[in-house]
Amino acid sequence: MADLLTPIELVFPGRVHFGPGTAATIGAFARERQFGKTFVVADAFNATRVGVLDLPGAVAIFAEVTREPDIPMLEAALGAARASGAEFVVGFGGGSAMDLAKIVAALLEDARGVTEIAGPEKVHPRKVALAMVATTAGTGSEAGMRALVTDPATQAKLAVQSRHIVADIAAVDADLMLSVPAHVTAETGVDALAHCAEGYTSKRAHPLADTFALAGIRLIGRHLPRAIADGGDREARAALALAAFWGGICLGPVNTHAGHAVAYPLGTRHHVSHGAANAVIFPHVLAFNAPAVPERTADILTALGLEPSQDPATVRERAYGWCRGIGIEMRMSARGIPEGDLDAMAKDAAGIRRLLDNNPRDIGEADILKIYRDAW
Ligand SMILES: NC(=O)c1ccc[n+]([C@@H]2O[C@H](COP(=O)([O-])OP(=O)(O)OC[C@H]3O[C@@H](n4cnc5c(N)ncnc54)[C@H](O)[C@@H]3O)[C@@H](O)[C@H]2O)c1
Ligand SMILES: [Fe+2]
């Protein structure tokens, strides 16, 4: 774990607007910069309310983003963005739309394919401006420097990481999240929780991010059950939006670890949503890591409002009970994942070294298979 004497770089969006009505700041930004052509990347739901962005001039909308976007979807969006002559790209939606918008902006005037810009700092400086408007409280993509897209050929997620895909402006208006269904609220909320908890227990954990991580976990512990019980609870929605933003900040310089790596094959191989996959895996990896980071594990339980423990079995039981208590189906078997695929999934996850290497305890294919068996 890093200490106060370890250098670290934190990249923030150029401007952050937080609060009710701030979606319209995107239009004000476009006017200020005199952009006449904007390209909005959205899912079908958010595409119906692009008006809240108050954009001037010609607005082209790519409305076809679906969960876990893949390379063909990216190429379709990129083609439409080039045809529109966009000067300004806006990601309007959950992580799927925001991530796609980031890669569209990165490649708009670059002939390379996404596989060539995947990995750290391969993106050229952007020529078009980029805005993020989050409508789920989960990924923190609005704050961060990463974007993910699935490669159907390998079923792996490609991660583009660059300071050039951090937004020029981000708007976090939690009133846009009042319509998120309860199960999506739960799943995305646990994704934000996983970003904070993994950031806090990562080998790369750093005091600069620790403060955000713990504050994020506390907000989620208090407000996620409230927002699930009453989707119209504006204060709870705003608290979760803030926690997700802070999770995104932790992702930047610290990033996730085995929690996300072990969760990925549930999404790429079996189409379990990103948040649900993280939730199913969260208690198991928290428990697996407890011997390596006992105090930090206890801190996470305390921040969630649970009784602290450093004992792996107790940690697992408490975290599992919390996730189940907010209505998440925690058994992989009940999510249609065949037992016969667990070996192949463990092999896939064991290859995600970019994240596994951040884990505070060494973890290999056999450990991952054991986690899948416990979670099945
Ligand atoms: N960039 C990063 O650092 C990062 C971090 C974590 C996850 N991700 C990626 O983000 C994606 C997942 O994003 P997500 O969890 O936000 O899900 P999502 O963007 O796929 O949205 C989930 C569902 O909610 C709907 N929706 C979105 N906003 C809504 C609203 N306000 N009201 C009603 N419905 C709404 C969407 O149409 C979709 O059906 C994955 O591809 C994952 O890999 C990226
Ligand atoms: Fe995530």
Q: Tell how far the Cα of 95 is from the centroid of ligand 1, in angstroms.
A: 4
Please tell me the predicted confidence (pLDDT) of residue 156. 85
Please tell me the predicted confidence (pLDDT) of residue 176. 98
Query: What is the pTM assigned to this prediction?
Result: 0.96
Residue 48's DSSP bridge partners are none
Please tell me the predicted confidence (pLDDT) of residue 155. 83
Please tell me the predicted confidence (pLDDT) of residue 157. 87
pLDDT digits (tens, 9 = 90+) for 216-243: 999 999 999 999 999 999 999 999 999 9
Report how far residue 223's alpha carbon sits from residue 164's, in angstroms, rounded to the nearest whole number. 33
Q: Within the chain, which residues score under 50 in pLDDT?
A: none
Q: Tell how far the Cα of 289 is from the centroid of ligand 1, in angstroms.
A: 27
Give CA torsion, residues 51, 52, 56, 61, to 10 deg: -50
What is the token pair recorded at 293? 């980071």
Atom of ligand 1 nearest to the CA of 275: 15
Q: How many residues does the chain have?
A: 376
> In CATH, what number does 15-177 get?
3.40.50.1970
Please tell me the predicted confidence (pLDDT) of residue 252. 87
Determine the residue of 41, 183, 240, 274 to mutate for testing ligand 1's pocket, defined as the one with the most ligand atoms within 8 A of the Cβ atom: 274
Give the Cβ contact number of residue 300 at 10 Å.
27
Atom of ligand 1 nearest to the CA of 251: 3
Q: Tell how far the Cα of 24 is from the centroid of ligand 2, in angstroms.
A: 27
Q: Residues near 33 by Cβ (< 8 Å), separated by ≥ 6? A: 88, 129
Please tell us whether the domain made up of 182-375 is placed in CATH 1.20.1090.10: yes
Please tell me the predicted confidence (pLDDT) of residue 353. 94
pLDDT digits (tens, 9 = 90+) for 187-217: 999 999 999 999 999 999 999 999 999 999 9
Residues with CB under 5 A from ligand 2 (ion): 191
Pocket lining: 66 vs ligand 1, CB cutoff 6 Å? no
Q: Tell how far the Cα of 3 is from the centroid of ligand 2, in angstroms.
A: 25
Give the residue among 178, 152, 157, 143 at the shortest CA–CA distance from 249: 143
Residue ranges of domains in the chain: 15-177, 182-375
> How would you write 208-247 as a 3-class SS string?
HHHHHHHHHHHHHHHHHHHHHHCCCCHHHHHHHHHHHHHH
What is the token pair recorded at 362? 């060494």
- The ligand that comes nearest to the alpha carbon of residue 193 is 2
Contact 12, 32 (CB under 8 A): no
List Cα–Cα distances, 247 to 161, 243, 251, 319, in angstroms. Answer: 16, 6, 6, 18
Q: Tell how far the Cα of 3 is from the centroid of ligand 1, in angstroms.
A: 33
- The ligand that comes nearest to the alpha carbon of residue 248 is 1
Contact 115, 73 (CB under 8 A): no
Give the Cβ contact number of residue 79 at 10 Å.
12
Atom of ligand 1 nearest to the CA of 178: 31
Please tell me the predicted confidence (pLDDT) of residue 256. 95
What is the token pair recorded at 40? 């909005």
Q: Tell how far the Cα of 256 is from the centroid of ligand 1, in angstroms.
A: 17
Pocket lining: 180 vs ligand 1, CB cutoff 6 Å? yes
